[in-house]
Amino acid sequence: MDLRYILPSPRAPITLDLFEAESYEPAVVVQQLVGNLVYFSNKGRYEPRLAKSWRRVEPTVWEFELHEGLVCENGEKIDAEGFKRSLKRIIKKMAKGGTVPVLNKLVGFEDYINGDGELSGIESSGLTLRFKFVEPTRSGVVQILSFAPFGYICEDNLNPDGSWKDNKRFISSGPYRVESIEIGSRYVLVRRDDWKLPFSESAPSKVIITHDVPTEFGSDAVWIVDPRWVSVSLPEEFERYDLVPEYLNSILLGNLQSGFFSRIENRRYFKGLVEKHRDLLVPEKWGNSVRSSSMYPTQAVNPPIPVPTVTPVTPPSEPLIIEGKEPKSEQGQYTWKVLKAALDEANIKYQFAGNEFNTAEKINQNYDIRIRGPSIGGGVEAWGLRILFCSKLGVAMPDPTGNICRLLDAYERDEINDEQLTKKFLEQVELDAAIITIAHFGHSFYLSPSIKKESLSPALSIVRFDQLEVE
């Protein structure tokens, strides 16, 4: 059975280069071709993949047990020793370009990337792979090992310097392989006959990924339209399938060392104004978006933190600088409408910086105000919060006191449990008053009637075709 998967208007042509595969559209293709130890499944949770089990055996040690008899599509054997070699190649390459989250805490990491020793923090024995860290590591290990680059990367995919050999070619260690590719238009994946792990009973034999939205289809056709960033017009037979609202529509206050918002009284006053206008101007629900004043729509401080009554403050003498340009997207316009009303009521002058968004600007906290819609996941999770608040990989959420990053460190050391982390984190965000939530929004798939919705979860990230079921 063939599945037609539509990705309308990708932001850039999709290639098979592994190192581009953490952007969403390339990941849809490439993550079907990589065998990771673990993966984020269609059920919306982390599950074993090439590993059949994992456990944290000590505060600093994790252990993964692999399935037996696994191979790449070219016959390359996959065992613990081979996986260790694969990870070392990728870690060396990734470290040259920046940070390697979590795995940079492996024993011997610094010596290894500097060429002075082995990466002794990864050990292999038969089908057992062991990771040893220099400090207690409780979260992030499973998550980072689910990223495409840290799956098993068959050696012939790479040049001697670790770079990707051919962006039109991918030797698969996952459930599908590439049958044909036309970069920018068509990608055909087929099931691997030598894949040792189970497919769902009615998983597609072939997946054809294109960018053209269908105007009609037969009653027996199997389609998924994944518009992600664009609006589409579809035949009425398609059913909308909403995903968890994981994106935070927010106002982030910055320039916290010396700017107007360095004073907590100013932040609390301004947040109160935004809250007032948010209630007036934002509808209760629009599309797959939900109005919420909490960092997470399903979680809030309970009981609420009493916020001190604050009186109006003296406006700054110089205009506040807002990052970027006036928002044009629907979500950004809602936020700007509310923000502008608060600025006007406070008689605060402002101007947009006019800068173009790029990787370096993503973490620049020197603007007085940033309007952002980052992915924050579905709930409080230590790994995700560390990326958002304490890593160059996130958007540098404001942490004026440093208490959020210290709280996450305490969690890693097993000093607090998950319940305590959630409570203390939500309290700290309220006390800091540097993140002003407007709403949460999510994306939607559009499914032809033959797709069994039971094989999907609203919490999933990328559809795993081997887990998909059709009528």
Query: 216: pLDDT confidence band, cut at 50, 70 and 90?
Result: confident
* Spatial CA neighbour of 345 closest among 238, 417, 412, 270: 270
Statement: residue 291 has pLDDT above 90 = no
CATH of 247-441, one of 1.10.10.10, 3.40.50.720, 3.10.105.10, 3.10.290.10: 3.10.105.10
Stretch (H or E) spanning 38: strand 38-40
Helical H segments across 283-441, by residue range: 330-345, 382-390, 403-412, 418-432
Dist CA 309 CA 437 (whole Å): 19
Contacts of 198 (CB under 8 A, 6+ apart): none
- Residue ranges per structural domain of the chain: 34-157, 247-441
Report the CATH number of the 34-157 domain.
3.90.76.10
Residue 279 has pLDDT above 90, yes or no: no
Q: What is the mean pLDDT of residues 55-59?
A: 96
Question: What percent of the chain stands above pLDDT 70?
Answer: 97
Answer whether residue 331 shows pLDDT above 80: no
* 242 phi/psi in degrees, rounded to 5: -80, 135
Q: Say yes or no to pLDDT of 41 above 90.
A: yes
